[in-house]
Structure 1
Amino acid sequence: MKLMEEFLIAQFDISFIDVSAYIGLTAAGIMTLNLFIGLLLSVHYNTELRWPHRRLPLLELHKWSGYSALFISLLHPAWLPLAKAANYTVLAVFFPFITREQPILTSLGALAAYTLIFVVVTAYLRNRFKYTLWKKLHYASYVVIGSFLVHGIFTEPSLKQNAVIDYLDGGKLFIEACALVCVSLVVWRVTYGTKLRAFNAAQQPEAPSWRGELVIHSIIDLRDDVKMFRLVNPRGGDLPFTFLPGQSLRFRLKQDDSVFTRSYSICSAPDSKIFCDIAVKRTSDGKGSAYLYSMTQVGQLLTCDGPHGTFTFTGAGSDGVVLIAGGIGLTPLLSIVRHLVNQKWPHDVFLLFAVSTPAHGLFEEELHALAERYRHFHYLILPSRIDGTEWPGPSGRLQSSHLVELAPQIARLPVYLCGPEPMMAATIFSLRSLGVEEAQIHTESFGGAIIHDDALRAATIFFAKSKKTGLVTAGGTLLDAAEEYGVPIESLCRTGVCGTCKVQLISGEVKMHTDTSLTARDIRDNLVLACQARPTTSKIEIAC
């Protein structure tokens, strides 16, 4: 090795210290590039819709630039123990604070290397973490780039004590330029993020302040088992509330002596201020749909409140969107499509509508007309089976290939998914296989999952506040029992997502197959979700 260094010095005037320095400069450049790509990914930058107007695999570039930065940064100090003039030991490569040559600054370089190992390993294993936890861990990237650049700027290249640093040297100028670029990128990202959060906060719906009545203006049969109800202000004029595309109304329905609530997504656009539409599918076990189908007529008043929900998209802060609907789950997404078309949103809107058979489609003529009118709208109706009918497009279960064919850039776009829970679970799996991050996926489910669990049993339930006693069937929820016996419990999604139906469990035991909307404090206070809680003991008491 000494002979090799002597040869390099004699032929090229380059020592092993110089080799280490050049490798360090390369690492700094790649780290800067990696930071740049990472920040583009964090704002969902779309290279097809923006410059350079062609598809670039940003996620792959970010990943491999990270791997390259790690390899080169580890290679950077490996030459120092071989350098005659460095007086640097192998142990000092791993623990540079023991060296006499600028121990603090060289230790910053080691900190960057060790932290980069942590960042790369956790990124490689990110699917084993919750997204929010992994995102916090990934912030260590800023420690990497910051400590490495400080190390590069203030370390004297020859590693000699008391040597004067030439900050106008070519290598120093390159590091300084990287530092300036990185600082500018971070300032831009912080500024952009602040503006985006402020904008989104302004777009978020406030707590519903409206509760009142709407009158049924008309009822339209969309299909044998789907009706659309057009609702207007009984006093005429505009609706007494405003809503965002994707939100819902909660209806208080009375049957016999019991009052129960059901929520239905608004499928009309908020631009139509004088009416709102809901589309309701008749199901065999649907108490709300049974009421609306058999107990209502044109001119009847319905008591409701809202609007509710955060499953909304107005186009703000995005360069495109993918909408995936299953069956009646089309309704909130149709509101989004109609709004974007009305606003002439200048970005691509991709809609995939999965149905059982071609006969189960909804709003097909309108979807076709919207695609003709608005060149940014692309849609695919995907029947799972065609039952011998002639169907010009693809069919079968929703697959990753269908998503990529419809929206090639799906990995970088926000995805809004609404439909039955089994369909949503399978679709989320496909989205993850395509590299769609969890934070990009927004969901709204229709109807709870069918639960089969041997631990569940029928129970006597006592409603402490209402002083009523009833029976919960095996597998039935506390919310089902409350509605049957006329005990008011506020509810919205009925899938365990919104947390509206929290009640305190006084005695007995229940099982919840979804409890993500419960906080640690809720659990300590023995709160449960009435729409998810099913008895596992023969007696239950709740505080309502």
Structure 2
Amino acid sequence: MPIYKVRLRRKQEIAAGTMAFYFEKPQGFTYKAGQSADFTLINPAEIDAEGDTRTLSLASAPYESDLMLATRMRDTAFKRVLKTMEPGTEVTLDAPRGSFTLHHDVDIPAVFLTGGIGVTPVRSIVLQAVHDQVPHRILVFYSNRRPEDAAFLDELMESHDTNPNYTFVGTMTRMKESSRKWHGETGFISKAMLLKSIDDLTLPIYYIDGPPVMVNAMQEILGEAGVDDKNIRTEEFWGY
């Protein structure tokens, strides 16, 4: 797998405690929506036991001009260096990796069950699907504590305007702590919530990505609903 050096173009806060970093896309570099990459800091000012490399989903869609990653800004050496990185700084990119990508059969709906920073590959897949006008029916269920914590919330909500095959369901679990208005669902993703948008829960292919506790909870709901294990694809985010 090729290894590239890529320069940081810009960075911005996109939700409470979450930042996006935009890097130059190397000439000839290709990847599929939903894939990930190993990012390695070059001669970082500090390093801790977690090391100088992270495997992070590419939140950018392949049609976009930059490579973008988004991450929760935990207090680790890697995150501190990343947060203070100046535009023009280089990092090493080892990519693409992973198979958390949209299935080929357009007759089978794709349902994404995601929470928190697990949304990064979902953004890539949804924006690329809207851009390509794929015929798949795509449904995204996105759980966060508050709207302030939800990265890419507006983009994912607005994508429905350009693709009638796409449905977005956002839900918030701690609206009492929010200062923003919210007209969507509240509470954790549940079987009842899924059934509002999906007539037969056994038909779609499911993509679950988020913290391990959420992934396990979603697998349990789908298992009890009779969904075949081969129609459930998972990706866990361990505090990135």
Asked whether the equivalents of residues 239 and 275 of structure 1 are also in contact (C-alpha less than 8 Å), the reply is: no
- 2:34 maps to amino acid: G
1:409 aligned onto 2:200:
yes
Matched AA of 1:432: G
The equivalent of 2:66 in structure 1 is: 275
- d(CA) in 1 for partners of 2:15, 2:27: 27
1:354 aligns with 2:146: no
Residues 257, 378 of structure 1: alpha-carbon distance in 2 compared, 3 angstrom cutoff: closer
**Structure 1 or 2: larger helix share?**
1
Q: How does 1:267-416 map to 2 (within 5 A)?
A: 267-272=59-64, 274-284=65-75, 286-294=76-84, 296-313=85-102, 315-319=103-107, 320-387=109-176, 390-416=181-207
> Which structure 2 segments of 5+ residues have no match?
none
The reply to whether residue 263 of structure 1 matches residue 59 of structure 2 is no
Separation (CA, whole Å) in 1 of partners of 2:52 and 2:177: 42
Q: Deviations over 1:50-72 (max 9, x none)?
A: xxxxxxxxxxxxxxxxxxxxxxx
Q: Distance between the aligned counterparts of 1:358 and 1:317, measured in 2? A: 33
Secondary structure of the residue that 2:3 maps to in structure 1? strand
Rg comparison, structure with higher value: 1
**1:444 counterpart SS class:** strand
Task: Quote the residue 1:20 is aligned against.
Answer: none
Matching residue of 1:458: none
| Contact 1:210–1:240, Cα closer than 8 Å, also in 2 | no
Q: Check conservation: 2:147, 2:153, Cα contact below 8 A.
A: no
**Counterparts in 2 of 1:215 and 1:398: CA distance versus 1, 3 Å:** same
Distance 2:136 2:184 in 1: 24
On the 8 A contact 2:171/2:187 being kept in 1, the answer is yes
Q: How far apart are the structure 1 equivalents of 2:110 and 2:195? A: 13
The answer (yes or no) to whether the contact 1:228–1:278 under 8 Å persists in 2 is yes
The 1:229/1:300 distance shift into structure 2, 3 A limit, reads: same
Question: How far is the alpha carbon of 1:345 from its aligned partner?
Answer: 0.9
Q: 2 CA distance for matches of 1:409 and 1:373?
A: 25
The higher-RCO structure (CA 8 Å, 6+ apart) is: 2
Q: Which one-letter code corresponds to 2:67 in the other structure?
A: C
The residue that corresponds to 1:249 in the other structure is 37
Within a 5 Å distance, the mapping from 1:161-240 to structure 2 comes to 209-233=1-25, 239-240=27-28
Deviation, 1:257, is 7.2
Q: CA deviation at 1:416?
A: 0.6
How many Å apart are 1:229 and its aligned residue?
0.9
Counterpart-to-counterpart distance in 2, 1:410 and 1:336: 21
Rate the CA distance shift 1:256–1:232 in 2: closer, same or farther, 3 A.
closer
The answer to whether residue 212 in structure 2 is matched with residue 421 in structure 1 is yes
Distance apart, 1:347 and its partner CA = 2.5
Cα distance in structure 1, aligned partners of 2:198 and 2:238: 28
Percentage of matched positions with identical amino acids: 25
Is the partner of 1:297 in helix, strand or coil?
Answer: coil
What is the 5 A alignment of 1:61-210?
209-210=1-2
**What secondary structure is seen at the aligned counterpart in 2 of 1:329?**
helix
Q: Aligned partners of 1:333, 1:364: CA distance in 2, in Å?
A: 11
Q: Which amino acid aligns with 1:423?
A: M
- Kept in 2, the 8 Å contact 1:322–1:410? The answer is no
Q: What one-letter code is carried by the residue in structure 2 that aligns with 1:340?
A: A
Deviation at 1:388, TM superposition (A): 6.3
Q: CA deviation at 1:256?
A: 4.7
SS at 2:226's partner residue? Answer: coil
3-state SS in 1 of match to 2:5: strand
Query: Alignment length, in residue pairs?
Result: 233
Query: TM-score, with normalisation over the residues of structure 2?
Result: 0.90
Q: Which amino acid aligns with 2:192?
A: S
Gapped runs of 5+ residues in structure 1? Answer: 1-208, 449-493, 495-544
The structure with more strand, counted as a fraction of residues? 2
SS in 1 for 2:124: helix
User: How big is the shift at 1:359?
Assistant: 1.8
- In 1, the alpha carbon distance for the partners of 2:68 and 2:46 equals 28
Structure 2 Cα separation of the partners of residues 368 and 223 of structure 1: 15
Give the CA deviation at 1:309: 0.8
Structure 1 residue 263 displacement after superposition: 1.1
Tell me, in whole angstroms, the C-alpha distance in 1 between the residues paired with 2:201 and 2:173.
22
Structure 2 counterpart SS, 1:406? coil
Q: What is the CA distance between 1:405 and its match in structure 2? A: 1.4
How much does 1:383 deviate?
Answer: 0.7
Q: Indicate the SS of the match to 1:368.
A: helix
* CA drift at 1:437: 1.0
Query: Deviations for 1:409-442, whole angstroms, at most 9, x for unmatched residues?
Result: 3311110111000111111101111211111111
